[in-house]
Amino acid sequence: MTEEKMRQQLEQKLCKLEAQEACRNLMGRYSYYRTAFQNKEMVELWAKRDDAKLVTPWGSYQGHSGIEACYLKDIGDRSDAKVFEAIKGAVIMHEVDTEVIEVAEDLKTAKAVFLSQGHDTYVDRTDNETVHAKWAWEKYSVDFIMEDGEWKIWHMTIYPLFQSEYGEGWADNPTYVSEAFAFPNAGPEKTNWHYDRNELYPANEPAIPEPYVTYEKSSAK
């Protein structure tokens, strides 16, 4: 191997490592912003593209305008006085870890999967101010893309695993909380697999990304 060839390989490895770290930080910001209901900042994590896509247990959002509709209209930002009042008492914390990240050889995109352990605490204003504290576990499939010199979220699919009240066995809860919500801007596509005693954990939902040269198909569907 020539010295030039070795230098090129080392540069490629370094660029991939830097890209992986950028994607980890991006998902870390996603988790922190989600917990704080800083959804204006959340929108800025996404690529400003018409083919951006978010699929959740309650519905889907297409394009950057759809992403804005999700975070700023259906969920809302804490800077909005009405939203601030509505989310008092809420702590929605979903960590993301156990990542597998594959960066394309052309360094333009990356594909990743994550596991997420979390809890949802919120006040039901329609039910005598009842406070709910729930376990909430999920999985993520995420595509990242380089846009204007920065890594951004391009596609994301959130898969539910289970959700249950604290103190309740998650195996005893046959539904996932998102099934009870209807958001006006969400499309019909959704993810709905969650724990059931008669089901087996999916082998490829999400699929673990494999090394690839250039982007051809979304790992986030």
Give me the mean pLDDT over the 192-202 stretch. 86
Q: Average pLDDT, whole number, for the chain?
A: 92
Q: Which position has the higher pLDDT, 127 or 36?
A: 36
Contacts of 14 (CB under 8 A, 6+ apart): none
Encoded amino acid at 176, one letter? Y
Domains of the chain: 3-172 (3.10.450.50)
Q: Three-state DSSP class for 72?
A: helix
Residue 113 · residue 140 · CB < 8 Å: yes
pLDDT band at 144 (very low <50, low <70, confident <90, very high): very high
Residue 143 · residue 180 · CB < 8 Å: no
State pLDDT tens for residues 73-116.
999 999 999 999 999 999 999 999 999 999 999 999 999 999 99
pTM of the model: 0.93
Residue 177: predicted pLDDT? 64
Give me the mean pLDDT over the 3-29 stretch. 93
Residue 217: predicted pLDDT? 61
Q: Which position has the higher pLDDT, 202 or 194?
A: 202
Residue 156: predicted pLDDT? 98
Give me the mean pLDDT over the 206-221 stretch. 81
